Amino acid sequence: MRLKLRPPNCNKFVEALGLKRLAKRLPALQGRAVGVRFSPDLRASNRKLYSERPHGQPVYAASFIRKRKIVLDQELQRHRGNLSRILVHELFHFVWVRVGNPARRSYLELLKKERRERARGELGWSAELRKGRLAKPARAPVRARQWRDYACESFCDTAAWLYSGLGRHPEFKLAARHRKRRAEWFRATFSSRSIPI
């Protein structure tokens, strides 16, 4: 199945996937169309995506920013909640590269504050994995690339938590006070404009 998500009228696309809760929650997006395709048994290895191949790490999805394309595992079509969460996560990879340096730096400062406060958990597996790779203890220096990777995945997982409409999920492990701060950051950052993808 191949579809095109065409901002700013993304609600029709989301509703066509049967994701009515997401259609109500997803903020206005602005930018060029993004192709969305479903493929069976997705796996990733060496920064490449495979379908129905025996090697690689199983993944739910992948985004190709320059090609303006998202590939989702076909299995997600049977699980609407996970489909909403993963689709929002992938869409926000496009947002991350277009939101601008001031917003990215601001979000990074939010994460650094959480680190100083020793916040445990995250809002998705991809961010939690990268958070675990950061240097310990919390005051130790971290390489810039590790921070960038973690910040991007945390941003996308936070958007997925905030907009997907899922109240609970086993991957939502970040404490409520940190979730609240992140939600406030998203509202403050995007309240006066459409979200760029």
Could you report the per-residue pLDDT of 22-50, keeping only the tens digit for each? 878 888 888 888 989 999 999 998 888 88
Write the CA distances from 149 to 18, 29, 126, 142, 188, integer angstroms.
31, 23, 10, 12, 23
Number of residues that make up the chain: 197
| pTM for the model | 0.91
Burial 131-146 (b: 16+ CB within 10 A, else e): beebeeeeeeeeeeee
Determine the Cα–Cα distance for residues 84 and 73; give it in Å rounded to an integer.
13
C-beta of residue 164 within 8 angstroms of C-beta of residue 81: yes
Query: Using 50, 70 and 90 to split pLDDT, how confident is the model at 141?
Result: low
Count of the separate structural domains present in the chain: 1
- Name the maximum alpha-carbon separation found in the chain: 47
Domain, as residue range, for 6: 2-196
Tell me what pLDDT residue 110 has.
97
What is the rounded CA–CA span in Å between residue 175 and residue 172? Answer: 9
Name the token pair of 67: 């090609």
Task: Give the position of tokens 């069976």.
Answer: 40
Rounded Cα gap, residues 187 and 193, in angstroms? 10
State the pLDDT confidence band at 9, using cuts at 50, 70 and 90. low
Burial of 158: CB neighbours in 10 Å, binned 0-12, 13-18, 19+:
buried
CA 176 to chain centroid: 19
